[in-house]
Copies of this chain bind each other. A is one copy, B any other.
């Protein structure tokens, strides 16, 4: 008997038969005597339908009103699951953000949870109810409806699990766990049994879109054991947990890649204080997010600055940087859209300084040129030509032994 929070994503409740399937899974866990709290997303497709409607009315609809509208998606799915559970003989009750009071700040469309009132949920659990809560939504202190941004239901689930001090927060999705790398590229990619919060944070931000990254940060903060599972395939999934709960540490937990960035180099700018600000402020003002930044050593008081930005912003960014380059008498501005960022992630790196060197030499041996490097305590990212993406991922996956069971961290 445990208190279990489960979150089901949009594909898991996409149609009536799938909602019944979720009800059966929930019911089976309830039958075992567990206290069940279920967090749902909108039926998949619904969010896009509503967005289309709003954009037919106005190109830039107000964010407050968008949230009023978008919150209906989850409202429908929680009611339908409650009805499904009741029709199977369970006691069930749905709640919206304003009812269990998921209090957020007032940042419409990307609000952050401040507090959750757990009393109503605990009372219902005590009476034997399955409690179903609409994900993705909350209210600010004036009772305006807010939403948490795409993927926000993950964050709702973790926040509710934290508030209830649940034993586990299970996130059900259409993949059966976190893999050592993309199985579409590496046929011998393996599902991890456990992964640390920090590794997951790096993996999530690098493109493994299984969990909303904020939900992982929140799980880490409140020490909520997270478990990623498939709605459609039985299995143990992957547990995301504290590093010290993973007995045998691995050197590298996973390999990720990202082909959605482009790089820009501005050549031979004066190497004096304030230069970086002159380049990056106008980009920031244009809402362009800069990822990696490299400035090479100064030669004759001049330096080259290279950075990456989302491919979608490439043209806009090039215009801005060309203008800045002229103002600063830069020698040239060069852009390159044909790049990929390949990263290795693992808490084990902290104690093994040789990992970076091994990554570089592995890529070098394959004739892959490294254009940029960026590192954190548990991550090393290299920018390479995008045509080598798959090759790089495969050789790194092999060299760090991710395909071999003996290399996997397990308790």
Contacts and interface: CB of A to CB of B under 8 A. Distances in A.
A109 to B, nearest CB: 13
A102 interface: no
A57 B86 CA distance: 10
A contacts with B: majority SS: helix
A61 interface: yes
A408 interface: no
Interface string A1-42: 000000000000000100110000000000000000000000
Contact of A143 (B62, B82, B98): B98
Given A62-B83, A68-B79, A16 B94 contact: no
Q: How many copies does the complex hold?
A: 2
A82 B108 CA distance: 15
A364 B90 CA distance: 62
Interface string A47-74: 0001001101110011011101101100
A75 B65 contact: no
Interface in A86-101: 86-87, 93-94, 96, 98-99
B66 A54 contact: no
B68 A54 contact: no
B50 A68 contact: no
Contacts of A69: 75-76, 79-80
B57 A83 contact: yes
Given A53-B16, A94-B68, A143-B99, A58 B75 contact: no
A132 to B, nearest CB: 9
A84 interface: yes
Contacts of A219: none
B87 A57 contact: yes
A71 to B, nearest CB: 7
Contact of A20 (B57, B72, B80): B57
Contact of A57 (B19, B68, B75): B19
Nearest to A67: B79
A78 B66 CA distance: 11
Given A68-B75, A98-B98, A98-B143, A80 B62 contact: no
9 contacts: A16-B56, A16-B57, A54-B79, A61-B87, A62-B86, A64-B93, A66-B79, A96-B145, A98-B98
Given A53-B80, A57-B80, A57-B83, 6 more contacts: A58-B87, A61-B86, A68-B75, A69-B79, A98-B98, A99-B144
